[in-house]
Structure 1
Amino acid sequence: MHQWRTWHRPLVLFAAAMAVMTVVSGVGLLVDDRVLTGAAIWSKPFKFAVSFVVYALALAWMLTLVTRGRRTGWWAGTVVALSSFAEMAIITAQVVRGKRSHFNHATPFDESLFNAMAVTVVVLWAGTLLIAILLLRARIADRASAWAIRSGVSLALVGAGFGFLMTQPTKEQRAAGNLDTADVIGAHAVGVPDGGPSMPLTGWSTTGGDLRIPHFVGMHALQLLPLFLLAVTALAPRFVRLRDPRVRLRLVQVASGAYAAVTALVTWQALRGRPLIHPDGATLTAAALTLAATAAGTYGALRTGSGAHTSPSAEKELVS
């Protein structure tokens, strides 16, 4: 963190702009009582701004770890920043107009804005993919760090990809048979209309599936898996076993597997039209199996270094 001045400058500036936008949209939530599709009209830019802050900062830091293709990485990060800024500008403009930004085909102008936003999302995803490839090729000395970073960015790409599912016509929209003239094509919710009963703050549906859940969970692996390793490393002075690089690597591998399983689980749940807070028996069974596998993996990881003390020379060999 003390080397933050070397972080990718355009992404850092974009994160700063989104921090300002968080305050602006927060004020909007307090003073603007307009409601759109069942939620306060400024809730969408608020949530996007907060998400973009942590997403951009994570990528800005990860780009300092790129050892080959640094110029390519700089341009990829800049493309991500610019495309994200364009997406946020469209979302905010539609809020000011009192119109929905996503899935809006009501007028040619609204449709053109949504199509432009769709392009920015594709560009953002492609830029992140290029950064992921560069990170896979980078020489990161600590194996646990390399695993956390690469797993995090890979799962973030999967999570971002779920956004494309939302743009497809729903079963109900196809059944209506008026896609050429429909005002709205696509939805966040599965099995129920958008704008119904929802969870506070997140706005996720409480009566049906919601594709924003796997989208959110997957994308934020980018921050959570490296933060998990940071927490493990911070605890190492107190717990001798965590000082073993093999233990830290195994724990990160278990955490990555568990995170991928949770992402798959909430995706399966959403696609079946089941709300997050009302899981059915199949979802609970899968969650229990995931929890048991994670517990067993954690136990095995902690036993990795229990046989003998790892010498400094052996530790150096393990992380090289």
Structure 2
Amino acid sequence: MSTTPRERPDRIRWHRPLIALAIASALVSATAIVGLVVDPRELVGAPVWAKALKFGLSILIYAVTWAWLIGQLRRFRRIAWWAGTVIAVTLILELGIITLQVARGHRSHYNNANPLDETLWSIMGTAIMVLWLATLVAAVVLWFTPGRDGARTLAVRAGSVLSLVGLGLGFLMTLPTDAQLAAESDIIGAHTVGAEDGGPGLPILGWSTEHGDLRIPHFIGMHALQLIPLALILIELAAARVAVFRSLRTRVGLVWTVTAGYAGVVALVTWQALRGQSIVHPDALTLTAGGAISVAVAAGILLSLAGGRRERTRAADASREDAIASPR
């Protein structure tokens, strides 16, 4: 028997401009990997192609996530499509300028050394502001579009809000430092706090191992859009074996706990970076704050599981009472 159109499950309509951005990002990432192998140049203390690789991979993940989320919407599709298209255009501009500057051996961010560098950085700065606004519109649309259940709805909403916060934290890196103002430097802005950019950093990521680094909260916050829904996916997979995870109350509670803990981590690493402290050398204050976040998350997990068990117990009791009360 043939299936009528109404009975067919809705298919995800992937946002094509964002998928095109993802493909471009993958190509840039592949080119950067080749560049890391064959091009020995360095820029600001790191291989010249390292930034193109990091941005390419990050934008690839970001583009695919938004293409998927927008493709699932059943309301406000036109608004979401335009917001996604603006996101794609702004990020392709940023990725293109980064790649061009890498090929030239020039800094892409904060660079006002000559008219071309200044123009390219100005374009990037404008694109970043437009990107944030377009992401805000897309996040608002997601907020008013409920998911299949309360846990999924909360995970997507929380991830989009924290992602906006992470994007916004990037603007801290565009502010001139006192040293730059005093020296009237051609470089206006920095990601390192307490020293000039370019010191020792973590492998691959490049985050400073000696000073504060504002790229850390920017990166962690921005990718809440992927990590919080991923946490829910893992919880849902666990539900196949652990009965308490089948409770919607438990899943919602756990998503709230993950969200609160994630927000706490973003706040902690932002505070740490602004104090000029390296992510790998936390002081007693940072460790104490991190410990408090861990304790709060553990408590939230326990409360969520306890709430789910109570819900299942009440449901089982009600089922038994109905069985007793029902005539045979």
Aligned to 1:189: 192
Rounded to whole Å, the distance in 2 between the matches of 1:183 and 1:85 is 25
2:241 to 219, 222, 238: 238
Give secondary structure in 1 for the equivalent of 2:310. coil
Q: Distance in 2 between matches of 1:34 and 1:3?
A: 50
| Residue 261, structure 1, aligned to residue 275, structure 2 | no
Matched residue SS, 2:245: helix
Contact 1:214 1:266 in 2 (8 A): yes
Instruction: Say how many residue pairs are matched.
Output: 308
Cα-to-partner distance string for 1:230-286 (whole Å, 9 max, x where unaligned):
010011010000001110010000000000000000000000000000001110000
How far apart, in 2, do the equivalents of 1:197 and 1:292 lie?
32
| Corresponding letter in the other structure for 1:113 | L
1:294 paired residue number: 297
Distance 1:142 1:63 in 2: 18
Residue in 2 that maps onto 1:80: 87
1:275 match: secondary structure = coil
Which residue identity does 1:7 align to in structure 2? Answer: W
Q: Distance in 1 between matches of 2:125 and 2:75?
A: 30
1:21 aligns with 2:33: no
Equivalents in 2 of 1:222, 1:216: separation in Å? 11
2:286 pairs with 1:279:
no
Give the structure 1 partner of residue 218 of structure 2: 215
Q: Runs ≥4 in structure 1, deviation > 4 angstroms?
A: 2-5
User: Cα gap change, 1:311/1:62 in structure 2, threshold over 3 Å: closer, same or farther?
Assistant: farther
* Contact map agreement 1:198 1:205 (CA 8 A) in 2: yes
Alignment of 1:70 onto 2:65: no
In the alignment, what sits opposite 1:46? 53
Partner of 1:137: 144
Partner of residue 175, structure 2:
168
- Between the aligned partners of 1:199 and 1:12, the Cα distance in structure 2 is 31
Task: Classify 1:190/1:308 alpha carbon distance in 2 versus 1 (closer, same or farther; 3 Å).
Answer: closer
State, as a whole percentage, how many aligned pairs show the same letter.
48
Alignment of 1:123-134 (within 5 A): 123-134=130-141
Q: How far apart, CA to CA, are the structure 2 residues paired with 1:31 and 1:311?
A: 64
Q: In 2, distance between residues paired with 1:3 and 1:185?
A: 49
Cα distance in structure 1, aligned partners of 2:310 and 2:80: 42
Aligned to 2:65: 58
Distance in 2 (alpha carbons) for counterparts of 1:226 and 1:70: 21
Offset of residue 65 of structure 1: 3.7
Moved more, 144-153 or 3-12: 3-12
Deviation of 1:307 after TM superposition, in Å, equals 2.0
Match of 1:317 in 2: none
Q: Which amino acid aligns with 1:204?
A: W
Between the aligned partners of 2:219 and 2:133, the Cα distance in structure 1 is 18
Residue 108 (1) aligns with residue 111 (2) = no
Higher RCO (C-alpha under 8 Å, 6+ residues apart): 1
Task: Name the stretch that deviates more: 8-17 or 72-81.
Answer: 8-17
What is the identity, as a one-letter code, of the residue corresponding to 1:295? A
Q: Distance in 2 between matches of 1:210 and 1:148?
A: 28
Distance in 1, Cα, partners of 2:84 & 2:11: 15
- TM-fit CA distance, 1:5: 5.3
Per-residue CA deviation, residues 200-229 of structure 1 (Å, 9 max, x unaligned), is: 111111111000000000000000000100
Instruction: Look up the equivalent residue of 2:236 and give its one-letter code.
Output: T
Deviation at 1:13, TM superposition (A): 1.8
> Separation in 1 of the partners of 2:255 and 2:239?
14
CA distance in 2, matches of 1:266, 1:110: 31
Q: Distance in 1 between matches of 2:146 and 2:241?
A: 29
Task: Give me the whole-angstrom Cα distance separating, in 2, the residues matched to 1:247 and 1:55.
Answer: 28
Separation of aligned partners in 2, 1:3 and 1:271? 47
Name the CA distance, whole Å, in 1 between partners of 2:310 and 2:97. Answer: 58
CA distance, structure 2, for counterparts of residue 82 and residue 45 of structure 1: 17
Displacement of 1:4: 7.3
Of 7, 30, 42, which aligns to 1:35? 42
| Shift of residue 120, structure 1, vs aligned partner | 1.0
TM-score with structure 2 setting the length: 0.91
Runs of 5+ consecutive residues of structure 1 not aligned to the other structure: 315-320
1-structure distance, mates of 2:303, 2:237: 21
Contact 2:13 2:72 in 1 (8 A): no
Q: Which one is further off, 142-151 or 67-76?
A: 67-76
Quick check: 1:4–1:61 contact (8 Å CA) kept in 2?
no
